[in-house]
Structure 1
Amino acid sequence: MTMRPLLLCMLLLGIGGGVHAWWRSAGATPTPATLAAGDPRRLTGEDGIVMLVADWCGYCRRQQADFERAQVRYRVLDVEQEEGRLAAAALGREGVPITVIGQHVIDGYRIFDYFSAALDAHLLPLG
């Protein structure tokens, strides 16, 4: 009788491990070779930052101000210019701001604390 719970436990662990492996591979980080030509993740590598913005976007200005206050080095692409438009299309995104940190794509305005807590290792001070 004691073998049955042990076998059940092993079966559940095996299924859980398989699901975990599948989940990780489904969210695998793309390599530059697999990214579209205009994709800003080609520019960021592992720790660079690119922000897609529009001049008329108040949230974009707020997020840029947050990054400036925190002395974060980043590149700006205007979605109303060709390079920014291609970058947004390559990401399959339409709204702004879009922030790419390393290979992570973050839609919309986030207070700086969100970025700092989530991706602290990727933020490079100006210098």
Structure 2
Amino acid sequence: MTSDAAPDRILMFGAEWCGDCRRSKALLDKHGVAYDYVDLEKVEDGADRAFAISGRTQIPVVVFPDGSHLVEPTDQALAERL
């Protein structure tokens, strides 16, 4: 289900039109965190995969190497997980 990410990297599902996704990507970039990105506008089954992980339709879905995830995280919540 999360085959797009290396086992030691974060996997983020999102879309460029999503402000929360752009904000979360910026936070990851600011902290120099390596992550893989699944653009739901470009990856045909991306939305289905994100839903299978989170059980929700909100994005971004940020999946951590331990298999846990956050949906629409605040900057504070995401920073605390890094």
Offset, 1:56: 0.8
2:2 to 40, 51, 68: 40
- 8 Å contact from structure 2 (residues 4, 36) kept in 1: no
Q: Is there any run of 5+ residues in structure 2 with no aligned partner, and where?
A: none
What RMSD over aligned residues (CA atoms) do the two structures have, in Å?
A: 2.2
Structure 1 residues 14-44: Cα deviation after superposition (integer angstroms, max 9, x where no partner): xxxxxxxxxxxxxxxxxxxxxxxxx227845
1:95 to 58, 62, 72: 58
Structure 1 residues 57-90: Cα deviation after superposition (integer angstroms, max 9, x where no partner): 0110011011101000000001222142242132
Larger RCO: 1 or 2 (CA < 8 Å, sep 6+): 2
1:109 to 2:37 alignment? no
2:23 to 57, 62, 69: 62
Structure 1 or 2, whichever has the larger Rg, is 1
- 8 Å contact from structure 2 (residues 4, 11) kept in 1: no
Aligned equivalents of 1:68, 1:43: Cα separation in 2: 16
TM-score (norm 1): 0.53
Structure 1 or 2: larger strand share?
2
Which letter does structure 2 place at the counterpart of 1:95?
A: Q
Identity of aligned residues (%): 29
Q: Is there any run of 5+ residues in structure 1 with no aligned partner, and where?
A: 1-38, 121-127
TM-score (norm 2): 0.77
Which letter does structure 2 place at the counterpart of 1:68?
A: D
Structure 1 or 2: larger helix share?
1
